[in-house]
Structure 1
């Protein structure tokens, strides 16, 4: 690729060598049988206000609420970015997405160039799926990918280069499922699997995959493309199709999505798999549109924003007999990059000696021991003014953010436009106290700008 200097190339090769498994690193079969299955359910564009268990009131979500009641809810879980592609990269790699030049959603090459980002995730990048596969897991990815492939990006690496054994994915992937892509676009009414049946299809794929691999533990990314627009519910008899951006259509889609989460849980129980399966339920980023902020709950902002509504997500973790049931943790912070080391620890998956992620092992939190995160969390959204004009109005945030304990700071790239919030006391980010807390503002601004300047840059020629 253009613009990769010798230092970055050397670093990439070093990381690749460190992440490759040694001959004796694979788990023995007997140990593998005792390891839990892992399913990461990554909902698309779901705000906290979409889920009843998190205070949502738009549509009842009884099945998701039941899942929450059987496990642990976290109210301070953060995605890696306020938009899909980088947020997904943070989960897969356990690293800030900017380290791999992911900043916004992947599109055509010209858009990616304008956004100063890559066209696909470098296959040398760490991969949670690869780490689990190298420890004896069968690995599957069912649902949206959006880390390379689609539009005019035809050379994106295939799924197996990230350690994924089986897959069924959408148009925004290197190997789209033909049943979902009758045309060269995200969806079509000519698709064999209709838009309203996609989540059911991915649930069926997950259950079938796990049923066929009962002799070994399974790691599955179940990443539906609901509840992302367009919302296309199944039309009733004699009913006209609802407008795909309307609240009425959204409510029907969310109701069906909740039903499919219930089908997944029932299917796991029927197969005797539920009790030894870690399930993570969350979202890649905030909601858009929010219907007047309703879908963001009490939080300011939406998808595309570094305010809480764009990055603070619903989060549920279940594992019967291990993760406490019916508990809500209202103080422990968890970041998307923490999932890789946390799930690895819970699953007895040994990480490569050379792996250096940005996440923290928070397995103790999931097992019920609440604690503060002793490491700052950083975000960027927007490397220039070309490709980052949204959202409009009050929800548009500065381009950089850091959370450190109870404090959250947002600034522009040069440190201007500082906004400081005590995020524990002011989760809605209504009271900017930067002017009265200059010492804390300066401290966090220094850390935030140093972090941002440390990220690699592609040499983009305009």
Structure 2
């Protein structure tokens, strides 16, 4: 067994808004397993992704760095498997590498989407990965240790069953395990994809928690129709909610294996999403790239986060400190008794002290979220959010105390000019410290068409620095 070192399970959902969780206050969505996990652990109420796009966000969860350091700026298209596919995190220190070096046995069930999805990474004794970044729920291609499998059963259950089998198989091992369970739920497609037992729960739902607002001014359209929108928003809402509830039930079956094997108290369980999602809030369907220019609304950049560690951390606690995906690798290493310093060379810092002691061990820092769709860069304090778009804007400033729904943009208000200047300065100084010249995307024309290859750059970094002082 594991001795003093706990097993670790990290469960990542795909495109789940922070609002789409019963424990977070949504009275319509049914997530009893996750709600119970929150009661037995710690829930973070203000946890942010590093980028509101899938691949960059996932790269940050593994490296503790932001896109302008790890170099994954966009969702990854191009060949996802085979000899022409690229490992975008090659030669970068990752959380899984550190755990492998610490003696953990690693397993993956579900989505990888960081290039070369068919190739097991170092330390993985089990690799069951989705071919690309998404798929229908009843027609998926998975790669088991490099060999393709065509799956027609419900994908959420397929991923959960594989994860449960890994837990069963690991009971004969002396070393602790790390298991990544990366669901595709609740990513589209929504309507007509999910088991009837779950869709039936929402046939009469009012969906008051997902108001369908007037179309956003930045909504992308083609032939008059929203790009990424839904032809039947009610059916899409039924599908979105059903997919979350089906995933919740699947997670319950995985966690039951811990109880059956008597290792529940020896296992840290983390649940979060890669990025947020709007289902009509602010007048669009999608995440950051649901609009152009890319949006940085809290629905897009905040994600649900739960961490349970029985006997190691308090239970039933909710923290509202500003924390980020780039903090996660250092925190998990800290919680398992390893030195987190390797993941604290960038912006990430372990928040294990907060989880253990129930109080912050250092002053709260602003969080930064960014994307190279434009690009857009955001700095958020407890009271203010500033969004800067290089080179021409539009920029945004929100008073989150008086305007928590982010409705009134104060960026051009002369009364707030000093605030804008100060937040812009802080943002510029943050990137001066935490981005690398080789990977900084501020002056690169990444527009959301998919990152086909590592970005071509002059090795001397011969491009202009962004103009933070202009419009």
- Shared fold per TM-score greater than 0.5: yes
Matching residue of 2:313: 323
Matching residue of 2:238: 248
Match of residue 132, structure 1, among 91, 95, 99? 99
Go from structure 1 to structure 2 and tell me whether the alpha carbon gap of 1:199 and 1:359 turns closer, same or farther (over 3 Å shift).
same
Match of residue 358, structure 1, among 340, 347, 353? 347
Matching residue of 1:22: none
Distance across 2 between alignment mates of 1:406 and 1:370: 20
Distance across 2 between alignment mates of 1:193 and 1:374: 46
Matching residue of 2:55: 85
Equivalent residues in 2 for 1:129-278, closer than 5 Å: 129-149=96-116, 158-161=119-122, 163-172=123-132, 180-181=140-141, 191-213=151-173, 215-231=174-190, 232-234=193-195, 246-278=236-268
Matching residue of 1:459: 456
Go from structure 1 to structure 2 and tell me whether the alpha carbon gap of 1:322 and 1:292 turns closer, same or farther (over 3 Å shift).
same
Go from structure 1 to structure 2 and tell me whether the alpha carbon gap of 1:57 and 1:210 turns closer, same or farther (over 3 Å shift).
farther
Distance across 2 between alignment mates of 1:182 and 1:324: 38
SS in structure 2 at match of 1:437: helix
Shift of 1:42: 0.7
Distance across 2 between alignment mates of 1:51 and 1:59: 6
Shift of 1:51: 0.8
Shift of 1:146: 0.6
| Conservation of the 8 A alpha-carbon contact between 1:300 and 1:308 | no
Go from structure 1 to structure 2 and tell me whether the alpha carbon gap of 1:323 and 1:96 turns closer, same or farther (over 3 Å shift).
same
| Conservation of the 8 A alpha-carbon contact between 1:409 and 1:418 | yes
Matching residue of 1:338: 327
Distance across 1 between alignment mates of 2:164 and 2:283: 31
Distance across 2 between alignment mates of 1:327 and 1:427: 23
Match of residue 407, structure 1, among 368, 375, 384? 384
| Richer in strand (by share) | 2
Shift of 1:354: 9.2
Instruction: Provide, for residues 384-430 of structure 1, a one-character-per-residue CA deviation record: whole Å limited to 9, x for no partner.
Output: 4xxxxxxxxxxxxx711112453321011137433222335543222
Matching residue of 1:418: 395
SS in structure 1 at match of 2:250: helix
SS in structure 1 at match of 2:378: strand
| Conservation of the 8 A alpha-carbon contact between 2:323 and 2:367 | no
Q: Over aligned residues, Cα RMSD in angstroms? A: 3.6
Shift of 1:382: 2.8
Match of residue 310, structure 1, among 281, 294, 300? 300
Shift of 1:279: 1.2
Shift of 1:311: 1.0
What TM-score results when the alignment is normalised by the length of structure 2? 0.72
SS in structure 2 at match of 1:181: strand
SS in structure 2 at match of 1:49: coil
Shift of 1:460: 6.3
Shift of 1:100: 1.8
Identify unmatched segments of 5+ residues in structure 2.
134-138, 204-231, 441-454, 459-471
Higher mean displacement: 419-428 or 273-282:
419-428
Distance across 1 between alignment mates of 2:100 and 2:177: 9
| Conservation of the 8 A alpha-carbon contact between 2:168 and 2:257 | no
Distance across 2 between alignment mates of 1:325 and 1:443: 39
What TM-score results when the alignment is normalised by the length of structure 1? 0.74
SS in structure 2 at match of 1:92: helix
Match of residue 33, structure 2, among 63, 70, 81? 63
| Conservation of the 8 A alpha-carbon contact between 1:379 and 1:400 | yes
Identify unmatched segments of 5+ residues in structure 1.
1-29, 111-117, 151-155, 174-178, 385-397
Number of positions where the alignment pairs a residue of Structure 1 with one of Structure 2: 386
